[in-house]
Amino acid sequence: MSRLLFLLLLVLGVPFAGRTQQPDSVRRDTTALRQPVVDSLAMDTTESRRERRQRERREREAADAEPVVFKDSARLALEKMSERPWKRSLMVPGWGQVTNGGWWWLKVPVIYGGFVSLALVFDFNNSYYHDILREVQYRINNNHAVPPNTKYPWLPAGQQATDRMILAKDSYRRNRDLTVLVAVGWWGLQAVEAYVTSMLKHRWEMGDELSIRVAPTIFAQPGLVSAHTYNPYTYGVKIHLQF
C-alpha cells in the first residue's frame, strides 16, 4: 500500500518538477523602459536644433546690425574726376591736361613737340636704313662693286666697305626701333602726368600759403680748429621754407 502511494506521488510530481525546472518565461516589457530614453533623446535633439536656429538668427541679426559704409556722392564725384583725365590722355595725348586745366596751354605743346621730334628722328633713321640697305644689297649681288648712283661715293669698292655699311645699316635700324619704344613711353608718361595732376588737384588739398624766412646764423665747426684757425664757428645764412 505504501509502495503504491509512493509511485502515485512520483507520477504526479514529475510534471510539477519539470515545470519548476523551466526557466522564467516572463518577458519584461522593455517598451516602457525605452520610451523615456527615446523621449530624452528627442528632447535633446529638439533642443540642439532650437539652439542652432537661435544662433543662426543671432548671427543674421549681428550681420544686419553691422554698419555698411557707403560712399557719398561727393566722394564718388571726386573719384570720377580724378580718373577721367588719365583715361582721356590715353585716348588722345594732351586731352587729360586740358581736362585738368591749369598749365595745360604749356603742357600740350610740350607733349606734341615731343611726338613731332620723335617722328623726325624716326624718319631720319628709317630713311638712312633703307638707303644703306639698297646699297648693301647691290654690293653683295655685284661682287662688292660701287653702285652707279650711289649716295656714298667716298666709300670704295670691296668687302671692307660693305661690312662698314652693314654695321651702319644695323645701327640705323636699331635707332629707328628704339624711337618707337620711346614714343610709347612718352605717351604713357603724359598719361601719368595727367593722373598725378588730377590726384593733387581733386584728392589732396594743398595750401597756397608759402613763407620764406632768411636769417643769418652761426654754425659750430669744431673740426675747423687748427694751428692757423682758432675760431670754431662758421657764419652763414639759413633759409626756412614753410608750405
pLDDT digits (tens, 9 = 90+) for 157-177: 888 888 999 999 999 999 999
Average pLDDT, the chain: 77
pLDDT score for 25 = 44
Check whether 145 has a pLDDT greater than 60. yes
Residue 236, phi then psi, degrees to nearest 5: -160, -165
- CA–CA dist 122, 80 (Å, integer): 37
pLDDT score for 24 = 47
pLDDT score for 75 = 64
Residue 50: exposed, middle, or buried by beta-carbon count in 10 A (0-12, 13-18, 19+)?
Answer: exposed
Check whether 9 has a pLDDT greater than 80. no
What is the pLDDT confidence band of residue 92, given thresholds at 50, 70 and 90?
A: very high
Check whether 13 has a pLDDT greater than 70. no
pLDDT score for 79 = 67
Cβ(206)–Cβ(200) below 8 Å? yes
Residue 98: exposed, middle, or buried by beta-carbon count in 10 A (0-12, 13-18, 19+)?
Answer: middle
Contacts of 128 (CB under 8 A, 6+ apart): 168, 172
The pLDDT tens digits of the residues spanning 41-63 come to 444 455 678 888 888 888 888 87
pLDDT score for 133 = 93
Q: How far apart are the first and last CA of the chain?
A: 145
Percent of the chain with pLDDT over 90: 32
What is the pLDDT confidence band of residue 198, given thresholds at 50, 70 and 90?
A: confident
Residue with cell 662693286: 145
What is the pLDDT confidence band of residue 207, given thresholds at 50, 70 and 90?
A: low
The pLDDT tens digits of the residues spanning 209-228 come to 667 777 787 766 655 444 45
pLDDT score for 172 = 94
Mean pLDDT of 142-159: 86
Check whether 239 has a pLDDT greater than 90. no
- CA–CA dist 221, 35 (Å, integer): 100
pLDDT score for 20 = 47
- CA–CA dist 23, 121 (Å, integer): 118
Cβ(107)–Cβ(193) below 8 Å? yes
pLDDT score for 169 = 92
Residue with cell 669698292: 157
- CA–CA dist 243, 241 (Å, integer): 7
Check whether 6 has a pLDDT greater than 50. yes
pLDDT score for 232 = 62
- The one-letter amino acid code at 214 reads V
pLDDT score for 83 = 81
pLDDT score for 127 = 94
Check whether 147 has a pLDDT greater than 80. yes
